[in-house]
Chain A
Amino acid sequence: MLAKHGKVFVLAWFALVLIVSPVLAGNLDRFTGMEGSLDIAGGTAHIPVMNEAAKRIMTFNPKVRITVAGGGTGIGVQKAGEGLVDIGNTGRPLSDEEVSKYGLRSFAFAIDGVAPVVHPDSHVADLTAQQIRDIFGGRITRWSEVGGNDAAIHVYGREEASGTHEVFWGKLLKKEAVVGTANIIQSNGAMKVAVSQDRNAIGYMSIGHIDDTVKPLAVDGVVPSQETAIDGSYPVIRHLFMNTKGDPEGLTRAFIDYILSEDGAGIIRASGYIPLQ
């Protein structure tokens, strides 16, 4: 009696697993039976999302190899355009020259905020947009002028054509040039290291890269975060793009669809960004 019940139970359990497993696999199903490799490079803001997606896909189907490299927005355009990688990420829309030279297709997948950041020990937590413009423009040079310690402000910036720089400069600095003595940092990751090492630093970086080692500054009383970016109260936002040369096919297509799927949206949220759909 008991044995029979056991058998039924096992069968029922198997049936349940069979019914449920597609749900568990969910959006990863599109990778079933696929093989080959996919190379991704470019914007450094995208890396947390790309890495997590790559990890999940390769765990689901070990025959798929995905490599994720940084390099910056420019590298993303260049490498995708020259066919050196399958997906080139950019933190800004492509320029007309870039589209016409390479025939790239863009897929926006997330909204990212760019926030001013300081060292966690800084006494300053809130600045007005005008104060931030004055600091980056070189008119305010000491922290004491904005309610902090009596120390010189160390300004850290990014190169002009960086996607992160473009949105911060365009939307918060109102296209005013950053002071020439500012240290120029080469990526979001390096910016985090630089600011977290320097008590008197101010820099700016993608919200998705912010963790406990740096402190985002409230701008006009609004703390930059996913929530304030969604409800529109924090305005310094941009889209993150994946770009392919021509229309994506096969594995590339599957990867982009995955990023744009429900699962992808979860990864994007967990990485500190806002999914676009």
Chain B
Amino acid sequence: MLSESWIRRALCAAATTCVAAAFCILLVLVYLVLPLFTPGGLGAVFSWQWLPFQGQFGILPMVTGSLLLSLGALTLATPLAVGVSCFVQVLAPRRVKGLCLAMIHYMTSIPTVIYGFVSIFLLVPLMREWFDRGTGFSLLTAMIALTLLILPTIVLVFHATLREVDLTARTTCASLGFSRPSYIRHVLLPLSRRGLLAAVILGFGRAVGDTLISLMLAGNAPMVPGSPLDSIRTLTAHIGLVVATDSQSTFYHSVFASGLILFLIMILINLALRGLGRSYTS
């Protein structure tokens, strides 16, 4: 009895610590961004030009870059993930299924820097030759590498939902004479829609937060791209670049604004995820 109450207390303390830590991070970020809340300061940071030595500290191109890159990677990864999950759960022979799942699990453990590094030597020259435009460091290149990175996240979360639905629905549908493709199309996918949404939101969080892929592959030009073959800079890469080179000047503070925006985006994503989870269980 005593030990049970202690376990409860310990868990409660752990949970409180986590919440407090996250909240403290938010507070610190807001505190560090406060100096920017002057009429000139805020306008300078929320603008479209990044020319720090000419007094222009705009990070909006980086916000655009982050959103374009992560949404782009999601559009590539989601259909792939749905295909892989359905194949693995319904169509694949048992041995292939095991192999596929093991591979997907393995993909989650590959460090991001490996994707980035290999891409510089394989993907970037290919992109440069195929499209014959730009340097190969581009939105599209980063998008492809990022797709590989977030694919396992989406597959694993979605596949978990799919397996649950499949357990309850498969026998019924088989007895009704559904072919396996039409079973996927008309029963399995509609029933696991919420699971897919949750998986996609998690994948989006992963994509927005990733730094190395965009830093190494996207080219980092602080501009709004006119085509997928143009170079972009994400918020995370921007923080990485500025922190690497500067430490105390005025434009250094724009990285805190970038951090705060990232943090707020992640909070929104998590709130959305929680909302979904609630409506899914009820």
Contact = CB atoms under 8 A, between A and B. Distances in A.
A95 B53 contact: no
A177 B51 contact: yes
A182 B221 CA distance: 6
A175 B133 CA distance: 29
Interface string B126-161: 001000011111000000000000000000000000
A191 to B, nearest CB: 12
A197 B245 contact: no
Given A154-B135, A183-B135, A159 B120 contact: no
Nearest to A197: B125
Interface in A118-173: 152, 154, 156, 158-163, 165
B248 A72 contact: no
B222 interface: yes
Interface residues of B, number: 36
A72 to B, nearest CB: 3
Given A177-B51, A177-B54, A181-B230, A158 B222 contact: no
A198 B241 contact: no
Residue among B121, B125, B247, B252 with most chain A CB within 10 A: B247
Contact of B248 (A98, A152, A193, A200): A98
Given A74-B242, A160-B52, A181 B231 contact: yes
B243 A75 contact: yes
B27 to A, nearest CB: 20
A78 interface: yes
Interface of B: 51-54, 120-121, 124-125, 128, 133-137, 215-216, 219-223, 230-231, 233, 240-249, 251-252
Given A73-B245, A159-B245, A184-B241, 16 more contacts: A78-B247, A95-B248, A95-B249, A98-B247, A101-B248, A160-B245, A163-B245, A177-B53, A177-B54, A181-B221, A181-B230, A183-B137, A184-B219, A186-B220, A197-B125, A200-B135
